[in-house]
Chains A and B, each alone.
Chain A
Amino acid sequence: MISYFVRRFLLIVPTFLGITLITFIILQVVPGGPLEMELMKLRGMGAPGGEVGPTGTGTSGAINIPESALEEMKRFYGFDLPIHERYIRWLGNLLSFDLGRSYVYAEPVWDVITQRFPVSIYFGLIGFILSYAICVPLGVMKAVKNGSVFDFTSSVIVFAGYAMPGFAFGAIMLVLFGGGSFWDVFPLGGFRSDDFEYLSFSQQILDQLYHTVLPVAAYLTGSFATLTILTKNSVIENLSQDYVKTAFAKGISEKKVIFKHALRNSLIPIATGLGHFLSLVLAGSFLIEKVFNIDGMGLLGFNSIIQRDYPTVMGILVISSFLMLIGNIISDMLYAVIDPRIRFK
């Protein structure tokens, strides 16, 4: 089995090259690149989607750009080289852990991305833990009480959440609890209050939680259904297995049969998703972040694409695909750990 995982790790290299190569080419070939955007700005036509542009607009009249300046700009963006050389150069920098500088933020891409890690990890982790902590027990309850009123009502709620987009749910909650015409319970948005640094430690915790409730609720609404129903079906299936009969015949109480014997087997298909907790550092949803005014990974990703901030786009891609590939392998390993019947060859 070790040789299987060694092979899997080795296969990361070609997969990774494939992902980056294809994205790199698509990004650079599509029209409307950073150079064109810059020129448009200079010519005073205003940049599309320029609301978040870092450089001020307002230059009036058309300006003729001298050839030498154009060359200079091309060199700045690296467009003076053919595309394969550009890729190889980018790859070479990557090997020395240099993701380049962001065109928009004029900072190293690594710094731009890592600045947003805390926000992503915070929301990602809370969402991840909460969804497992709620869905697994809920699924077990639903399985044990299959067909009951409780089972039916919880299904209705869970599926309603599944059907509703998270940002829409977030918006509704803001209307209800954000201090508009109804109740003033939670803040309208932001990650923390502006005066966060001046608060005492316990106040800081409260303030953080106060800002967390609504966005996390919005993140979670859609994720309940799959996990809950998966758990439920898995438990029901396992409760009808022969070994459960054996456990009952041993004289074990019903509770222990369910939680010791049936649940462990039911968790096998669920636990395999755990490998992807690594990707949490990049978790984020553009729409939800927009609704709650949080400066997270979702917004960054969206804006970098709109503003043709190639180094940042590629930086996010590199990190996320790498974590995804590792996460897949971890999932497989977990699978082998939890289920002794699994042997990879």
Chain B
Amino acid sequence: MSTILEVIDLETQFKTDDKFVKAVDKISFTLNRGETLGIVGESGSGKSVSVFSIMRLIPDPPGKITGGKIFYDSKDSGRVDLLSITEKQMLHYRGNEISMIFQEPMTSLNPVFRCGEQVVEAIELHQKVSHQEAKERTLNLFNEVKLPNPERIFQAYPHQLSGGQKQRVMIAMAMSCNPHILIADEPTTALDVTVQATILDLMRQLRDEIGMSIIFITHDLGVIGEIADKVAVMYKGKIVEQGTTLDIFSNPQHPYTKSLLACRPPLGIRLKKLPVISDFMNEDENGNMVEVNASVEQVVNSVIVSEKETQDRRNALMNNAPRLRVKNLKTYFPSTKNFFGKVLDWVRAVDDVSFDVYPGETLGLVGESGCGKTTLGRTILRLVDATDGEVIYKDKDIFSFKGDDLKEMRKNMQIIFQDPYSSLNPRLTIGSAILEPMKIHGIYSNDRERKDKVFELLEKVNMEPSHFNRYPHEFSGGQRQRICIARALAVNPEFIICDESVSALDVSVQAQVLNLLIKLREELHLTYIFISHDLSVVKFMSDRMVVMNQGVIEEMGPADEIYNNPQKEYTKKLIEAIPKGDIETISERAKRRAKLLEEV
């Protein structure tokens, strides 16, 4: 097994406000031919900056590679230090011998060029072939990445494809010049769990066939378990632990690695709350790490909930009258209209859905993108008009509310959205963002009292009162989502719909936000509808679970029961897609890969 890439003491800095921050701090690793290296860490840990440094794509200013060597073993020109060659020489390697795919398939393709032409461009750039040959190669590639109807995809513009299809086009583009190294920067993070499973499957297959090396970046150790041969764990710009995937999963050393392993919602068991980083490590006043000496098992076992406890809780909940009843709800959108605007055909986003939600309960709503779960949530809140059916909240028909009743309902029922970046007004300080709903609903007599309440809320969601006068862009995704939660809580609601509220967050941050939601549910006696595409998260959060597909309910029941004994094929597919990260599968895969790698 020969080394193809050797990174030695790589250091990359970014200039912010006249001081330099080390985004990557002297990291070293090697990548062998045919091998897949996973780099895992949370947002801001420096994992993307390290691979952008390898590609020499760090924007300068403000960034600069300030030290280290990156030796690449090229087939034609032998061993070169990528950091000491000219930009023009670098163009030969970039996209040709080392190629890259990105996190956001939605925005990674140029919207004004046809998908096929974008792949053809890459081929023509690095290979001496005619346009016709390049086109044929592209169609073959589309076939290899299992795109349906390659001819149509070739002619399509990016916006006409789904997220998964776009990521396949990106993979085809990256594969187009038979690269020796493929760098994948969170290629599945923006996708549904089911689509993620198919993309991982495709990447594994292509890798085994072609024998290329992969650097796979993700925040999710579960995904690493699915694809990587070895792992580098990054934290604050440094690699804190390296090893084979099997070693990392079965015997993690660094507390940060342990917390990444423990913070994923577990599947076989039920937990009171998810383990988080602070269960494994803390910082003292000087910012040095203090390790809490605990193993993953110890921490997980300390929060486990027995089956009887789960049963008792559910029985207690169902003893009350339902707080919300949804009866035969339908929401249709016009899909085609004739010349005079008469609707000819409808999209049945929600089609005859009925269920009850009990006070204090969390009802999970799970399904793939486009299954109608978001529309359902919004219809319940009257953010979208229903076509037919009833929503009864505390024995009153929500659709009949007008004026003050409607205002009262808006106060009682809140929603937390998916994207914490766009759901906060960038020009409002977070203090005034939380204060605004109180003012609208006339809660408290003056701003002085309201401000005190904002301070209280900020503390409740684990933020500092001193954050009051700061703006959303100064916060991380997890912090922003906590601000959104505080804003939803400002009007003392009874009922909250969480619409994919943790889907945009890292798994380690996701765990913190989920724990917060559970804590608030108990403290404030809240009732949730929790919507997500990830069955593992929904199962962890909910008492009962509704599986939705194409606007209708596939099945409904206690969360653990549905997971342990799914009745429908669709539910099985959702469960199948979750990266399990169990030791047996990983060790079996490792054996198979070892054999393959010997041949390379």
Residues of A within 8 A of B596 (CB): none
Q: Is B144 positioned at the interface, with any CB of A under 8 Å from its CB?
A: no
Residues of B within 8 A of A7 (CB): 339
Distance to closest chain A CB from B154 (angstroms): 14
Residues of B within 8 A of A250 (CB): 94-95, 99, 121-122, 125, 173
Which residues in window 84-114 of B have CB below 8 A to A?
Answer: 91-96, 99-100, 102, 104, 107-113
Which residues in window 119-135 of B have CB below 8 A to A?
Answer: 121-122, 125-126
Are A243 and B125 in contact (CB-based, < 8 A)? no
Q: Is A61 positioned at the interface, with any CB of B under 8 Å from its CB?
A: no
Distance to closest chain A CB from B101 (angstroms): 8
Distance to closest chain A CB from B204 (angstroms): 22
Given A7-B339, A250-B173, A340-B112; A242-B107 close (CB under 8 Å): yes
Q: Is A3 positioned at the interface, with any CB of B under 8 Å from its CB?
A: yes
Residues of B within 8 A of A246 (CB): 102, 108-110, 170, 173
Interface centre among B55, B110, B122, B170 (most CB of A within 10 A): B110
Distance to closest chain B CB from A11 (angstroms): 13
The contact of B57 among A241, A248, A261, by CB within 8 Å, is A248
Distance to closest chain B CB from A338 (angstroms): 7
Residues of A within 8 A of B126 (CB): 251
Chain A 241-282 interface 0/1 with B at a Cβ cutoff of 8 Å (1 = within): 111011111111100000001001100100000000000000
In chain A, what residue has the closest Cβ to B183? A249
Are A251 and B93 in contact (CB-based, < 8 A)? yes
Are A340 and B157 in contact (CB-based, < 8 A)? yes
Q: Tell me the bound Cα distance from A243 to B113 in angstroms.
A: 11
Are B94 and A251 in contact (CB-based, < 8 A)? yes
Residues of A within 8 A of B95 (CB): 249-252
Given A242-B102, A264-B112; A249-B121 close (CB under 8 Å): no
> Interface size of A by Cβ–Cβ distance < 8 Å?
24
Q: Tell me the bound Cα distance from A92 to B121 in angstroms.
A: 58
Are B102 and A341 in contact (CB-based, < 8 A)? no
In chain A, what residue has the closest Cβ to B97? A251
Residues of A within 8 A of B93 (CB): 251
Residues of B within 8 A of A345 (CB): 337
Given A242-B102, A251-B126; A265-B91 close (CB under 8 Å): no
Are B57 and A245 in contact (CB-based, < 8 A)? yes
Q: Tell me the bound Cα distance from A136 to B108 in angstroms.
A: 25
Distance to closest chain A CB from B232 (angstroms): 21
Given A245-B57, A250-B95, A251-B93; A265-B111 close (CB under 8 Å): yes
Residues of A within 8 A of B339 (CB): 3, 6-7
Residues of B within 8 A of A72 (CB): none
Q: Tell me the bound Cα distance from A265 to B159 in angstroms.
A: 14
Residues of B within 8 A of A339 (CB): 111-112
Are B157 and A242 in contact (CB-based, < 8 A)? no
Distance to closest chain B CB from A101 (angstroms): 42
Are A241 and B125 in contact (CB-based, < 8 A)? no
Residues of A within 8 A of B112 (CB): 264-265, 268, 338-340
Which residues in window 1-24 of A have CB below 8 A to B?
Answer: 3, 6-7
Q: Tell me the bound Cα distance from A245 to B99 in angstroms.
A: 12
Given A248-B57, A251-B93, A251-B95; A242-B121 close (CB under 8 Å): no
Distance to closest chain B CB from A150 (angstroms): 16
Are B107 and A241 in contact (CB-based, < 8 A)? yes
Given A242-B107, A245-B108, A345-B337; A253-B157 close (CB under 8 Å): no
In chain B, what residue has the closest Cβ to A340? B157
Q: Tell me the bound Cα distance from A276 to B99 in angstroms.
A: 44
Residues of B within 8 A of A340 (CB): 111-112, 157, 159
In chain B, what residue has the closest Cβ to A339? B112
Given A7-B339, A264-B112, A338-B112; A249-B157 close (CB under 8 Å): no
Which residues in window 474-495 of B have CB below 8 A to A?
Answer: none
Residues of B within 8 A of A245 (CB): 57, 102, 108
Are B108 and A251 in contact (CB-based, < 8 A)? no
Residues of A within 8 A of B111 (CB): 243, 265, 339-341
The contact of B99 among A6, A249, A261, by CB within 8 Å, is A249
Are A249 and B100 in contact (CB-based, < 8 A)? yes
Which residues in window 83-100 of A have CB below 8 A to B?
Answer: none
In chain B, what residue has the closest Cβ to A245? B102
Q: Tell me the bound Cα distance from A245 to B170 in angstroms.
A: 12
Q: Tell me the bound Cα distance from A247 to B102 in angstroms.
A: 12
Q: Tell me the bound Cα distance from A261 to B126 in angstroms.
A: 18
Q: Tell me the bound Cα distance from A6 to B55 in angstroms.
A: 51
Given A249-B55, A251-B126; A243-B94 close (CB under 8 Å): no
Q: Tell me the bound Cα distance from A250 to B99 in angstroms.
A: 7
Residues of A within 8 A of B108 (CB): 242-243, 245-246
Are B122 and A243 in contact (CB-based, < 8 A)? no
Q: Tell me the bound Cα distance from A101 to B337 in angstroms.
A: 47
Are B125 and A252 in contact (CB-based, < 8 A)? yes
Interface centre among A6, A243, A247, A268 (most CB of B within 10 A): A243
Given A242-B102, A246-B170, A338-B112; A253-B91 close (CB under 8 Å): yes
Distance to closest chain A CB from B358 (angstroms): 43
Residues of A within 8 A of B337 (CB): 345
In chain B, what residue has the closest Cβ to A248? B57
Residues of B within 8 A of A252 (CB): 91, 95, 121, 125
Distance to closest chain A CB from B113 (angstroms): 8
In chain A, what residue has the closest Cβ to B176? A250
Residues of A within 8 A of B99 (CB): 249-250
Q: Tell me the bound Cα distance from A268 to B102 in angstroms.
A: 25
Are B157 and A341 in contact (CB-based, < 8 A)? yes
Are B92 and A251 in contact (CB-based, < 8 A)? yes
Q: Tell me the bound Cα distance from A249 to B170 in angstroms.
A: 11
Distance to closest chain B CB from A259 (angstroms): 13
Interface centre among A3, A264, A340, A345 (most CB of B within 10 A): A340
Which residues in window 29-46 of A have CB below 8 A to B?
Answer: none
Given A246-B108, A248-B94, A261-B110; A341-B173 close (CB under 8 Å): no
Which residues in window 307-337 of B have CB below 8 A to A?
Answer: 337
In chain B, what residue has the closest Cβ to A246? B108
Residues of A within 8 A of B159 (CB): 340-341
Given contacts A249-B94, A250-B173, A252-B95, 5 further A-B contacts (CB under 8 A): A241-B107, A249-B55, A249-B95, A251-B93, A252-B125
Could you write out 16 A-B pairs with CB less than 8 Å apart?
Answer: A242-B102, A243-B110, A247-B110, A249-B100, A250-B95, A250-B99, A250-B125, A251-B92, A251-B94, A251-B122, A252-B95, A264-B110, A268-B112, A340-B159, A341-B111, A341-B159
Q: Which 3 A-B pairs have the closest CB atoms?
A: A251-B95, A250-B95, A251-B94
